[in-house]
Amino acid sequence: MIISVASGKGGTGKTLVATSLALSLRERDKVQLLDCDVEEPNDHIFLKPVFTRSEAVAIPVPEVNEEKCTHCGKCAEVCAYNAIAVMKQKVLVFPELCHGCGACGYLCPEKAISEEAKEIGVVESGSSDGIGFVHGKLAVGEVMAPPVIRQVKEHISREGTVIIDVSPGTSCPVVEAVKDSDFCLLVTEPTPFGLNDLVLAVETVRVLNIPCGIVLNRAGVGDGKVEEYCQKENIPVLLTIPLDTEIASFYSRGVPLVEGMPQWKVSFLGLSDKIREIVNERSSDTER
Amino acid sequence: MKEVVILSGKGGTGKTSIVGSFAALAQKKVLADCDVDAADLHLLLNPSITEENEFWSGQVAVIDDEECTQCGLCQDVCRFDAIKDFRVDPVPCEGCGFCSHICPVEAITMKESLSGHWFISDTKYGHLVHARLGIAQENSGKLVALVRQQAKQIAKRDGLDFIISDGPPGIGCPVISSLSGANLALLVTEPTLSGIHDLERVRGVCHHFGIPALVCVNKYDLNEDNTHQIENYCLNQGVEVAARVPFDNTVTEAIVQGLPVVEYSPGRVTQEIESLWQHVTRALEQ
C-alpha cells in the first residue's frame, strides 16, 4: 500500500506525520519512507538514516555535433521550450530550459544531435532502524523537481507499506509525488490559510482519483471551518493533533513525535488501520 | 523602484503574515503574490478584483481516434509516459510535441491549455497582483514571472517605490522565478532543525543568483538554542538577522480575522515587524 502525505499549505506537519507513521508501523509491517519533497527534504533530520547508496539524477540535454550540423533549424523548430537556437554558424543550447523530451535528436535529419547527461540532483537511499529510507535532493539553482521525484519513486518496493512525504503546493512536483498512491493523507491546520490550501489539495487528489483523509494538526488554534468543510465534503478527519508546546519542542529539535511522546504510537497505528479500511473498501467496490 | 521577495524554503514559517503586515506598513507599494499554487495573501488583504485574465500556457497532445492507426510510435517515443492505449493523459503530458511531430498519419495535434488565471485587485493597502494556477497544472514559473511583470508595470505607471512579493516555499522553479532580478530577498525561518536546514538551501539559491538576503527568525522563542544556531550560521555567511519575532497567538488570531497582524494587535510582534520593515527599506536603499 502506498500512502502519500501532502498538504497544500507548507508547514502544517507533513514531516511530523510521515515520520511518526513510519516509526509506528515498522513494528508490524515492512515500511519504506520516501521523502519526495526534493526541494526541501526534512525526513532525514528526524530519522537519521544510514545511507548506503547515492545516485546522481540527470536529465538528457542535447549536444550538437557542429561538424555534422547543417544549421537547417529543425531542432529549434520542434523544441517546445525554446531550449535551442540555431544561428547561421552556430547552435546554442540552453540546458536550463530543456525538458529532455528527445525530440530534437530524433528529428535531426543529419543525426548531429546526441544527448549528454546534465546532473540536477541526487537520490540517496539506506535505512533507519528497519525503515527503508530514500530521499531526493534537487541541486541548488536547479528548477526541475519532477525528474528527481521520479527517480526516488523508482525505489518503491511492492511489499509492505510505502509512505511518501510530498512537497507543499498543488502543481507538478505534488502531482508527480502523489500519483499512483493508494491513499493520500492531507495534513492541515484549522486556520483560513490551512482551509484555503486544503481545498486546493483536495481538488488535486480528486483529479488524480485518489481517496483522501485529513490529519488536523495544531487543533485549538484558529476556527472550526476546516472541520465544517470536511463534513460538507464528506472527507474523514482521521487524526487530530492538538497545538501543544511539548510537541512543538520535540519537532524543533528533530525528535519524531512518537519517540518523544510514545503514547502517540497508538494513534498513528489507528490512523493506519483507518486508511487500510478505506483502501480495502474501495478496492472491493471496484471489483464489484 | 525596488523589489523585495519574501522566501523561506520551508513552508509555514510566516511569510504571508509578514507580507500582509508590510502591506499595511509600507507607503507607495504594489503587492505581488508569487505563491501561485497555494496563494493566501488575499485572505489578509480582502481584495476586490478589478481585472481577471486567463493564463494560457503550454500545450497538451490530443490524438484523433479516427486518424490513429494504433502504430504505437507515439507511445514509444514519449519520455513522460503520457500516452497509454493511444490516449493522452493530460496530467503527465509536458507538451513537448514530440509525438505530434513523428506521427506518420498526423493524427496528433497540440492544443493550448488553460493553465490558470491571474488578477489585479484593489485593496485598502494598494494594488495586489495575484494568480491561481489550475489544479495539477505546470508552468508555475511562467505564471510567477507574469505576476511580477504586471506588478512592475503598475509600479512604473503609478511611480511606486516598492514591489513586495510573497514567495512560494521550496527552492525550485517558482522560487527561482520569484527571485531572479529582485533587489532583496527576506528569508523567514523558524528555530527548528527543519527550518534551519531549509534556510541554508534557500540562502544557497540567493547566493547562486547573486541576490542579497536578510533573515527574519519567526517564533524565535520556541527554541532559543536553535535561534542562536541560526544567528551563528548567518554571521558566518555574512547575512544579517534583521528581526527576531516572538511566538504569539495574536498572529493566528489576526489570520482568522482576515487582518494583517500589525493592524490587529499593537503587541511585541507588531513592534518587531515594524522595525523589520525599517530594516528592509534601509537594505533596499543601499
pLDDT digits (tens, 9 = 90+) for B46-77: 999 999 999 998 889 999 999 999 999 999 99
**For residue B139, pLDDT beyond 80:** no
Looking at the structure of chain B, the number of domains it has is 2
Compare B112 and B123 and report the one with higher pLDDT: B123
CA atoms of A87 and A142, how far apart (whole Å): 26
- The beta-carbon neighbor of B171 closest among A40, A99, A252 is A40
Cβ of B95 within 8 Å of Cβ of A80? The answer is yes
Compare B139 and A156 and report the one with higher pLDDT: A156
Residue B102 and residue B180 in one domain:
no
User: How much is the average pLDDT of B70-85?
Assistant: 95
User: How much is the average pLDDT of B247-270?
Assistant: 95
The grid coordinates of residue A188 equal 492541515
Cβ of A167 within 8 Å of Cβ of B169? The answer is yes
Task: Kindly provide the b/e burial profile for residues B84-106, where b requires at least 16 CB atoms within 10 angstroms of the residue's own CB.
Answer: eeeebebbbbbbbbbbbbbbeee
Residue B169 and residue B76 in one domain:
no
**For residue B87, pLDDT beyond 80:** yes
Residue B194, pLDDT score: 97
Separation of first and last alpha carbons in chain B: 13
CA atoms of B47 and A151, how far apart (whole Å): 41
Residue A288, pLDDT score: 63
Cβ of B12 within 8 Å of Cβ of A10? The answer is yes
Residue B67, pLDDT score: 96
Residue A100, pLDDT score: 92
CATH number of A66-111: 3.30.70.20
Residue B184, pLDDT score: 98
Task: Give the count of alpha carbons within 13 A of B134, CB side only.
Answer: 16
Residue B26 and residue B99 in one domain:
no
Residue A285, pLDDT score: 81
Cβ of B38 within 8 Å of Cβ of A169? The answer is yes
Among B135, B143, B176, the strongest candidate for a mutation testing the A interface, having the largest count of A CBs within 10 A, is B135
Cβ of B38 within 8 Å of Cβ of A170? The answer is yes
**For residue B220, pLDDT beyond 80:** yes
**For residue B92, pLDDT beyond 90:** no
Residue B224 maps to a domain:
yes
Q: Which domain holds residue B276?
A: 2-46+124-285
Distance from CA of A83 to the nearest CA of B (A): 11
**For residue B172, pLDDT beyond 70:** yes
Residue B137, pLDDT score: 81
DSSP state of A49: P
CATH number at residue B41: 3.40.50.300
Residue B144 and residue B214 in one domain:
yes
Identity at B203, one-letter amino acid code: R
The DSSP string of B167-185 is: PPSSSSHHHHHHHTT-SEE
**Banded model confidence at residue B286, pLDDT cuts 50, 70, 90:** confident
Consecutive H or E run containing B255: helix B250-257
Residue B119 maps to a domain:
no
The grid coordinates of residue A193 equal 490559510
Distance from CA of A94 to the nearest CA of B (A): 15
Give me the residue spans of the domains in chain A.
Answer: 2-57+126-287, 66-111
At a CB cut-off of 8 Å and minimum separation 6, what does B172 contact?
Answer: A39, A138, A142, A143, A144, A145, A173
At a CB cut-off of 8 Å and minimum separation 6, what does B174 contact?
Answer: A171, B34, B35, B36, B37, B140, B141, B143, B144, B168
CATH level 2 (architecture), domain A2-57+126-287: 3-Layer(aba) Sandwich (3.40)
User: How much is the average pLDDT of B131-148?
Assistant: 89
Among B44, B173, B201, the strongest candidate for a mutation testing the A interface, having the largest count of A CBs within 10 A, is B173
List, for residues B1-44, the tens digit of each pLDDT value: 999 999 999 999 999 999 999 999 999 999 999 999 999 999 99
Residue B52 maps to a domain:
no
Residue B57, pLDDT score: 85
Cβ of B96 within 8 Å of Cβ of A142? The answer is no
Please tell me the pTM assigned to this model.
0.93
Cβ of A168 within 8 Å of Cβ of B138? The answer is no
pLDDT digits (tens), chain A, 288 positions: 999 999 999 999 999 999 999 999 998 999 999 999 999 999 999 999 999 999 999 999 999 999 999 999 999 999 999 999 999 889 999 988 899 999 999 999 999 999 999 999 999 999 999 999 999 999 999 989 999 999 999 999 988 999 999 999 998 899 999 999 999 999 999 999 999 999 999 999 999 999 999 999 999 988 999 999 999 999 999 999 999 999 999 999 999 999 999 999 999 999 999 999 999 998 888 766
Cβ of A192 within 8 Å of Cβ of B135? The answer is no
Residue B187 and residue B265 in one domain:
yes
Residue B150 maps to a domain:
yes
CATH number at residue B105: 3.30.70.20
Nearest CA in chain B to A148: B172
Residue A31, pLDDT score: 98
- The beta-carbon neighbor of B12 closest among A12, A203, A248 is A12
Residue B61 and residue B40 in one domain:
no
Residue B178 and residue B216 in one domain:
yes
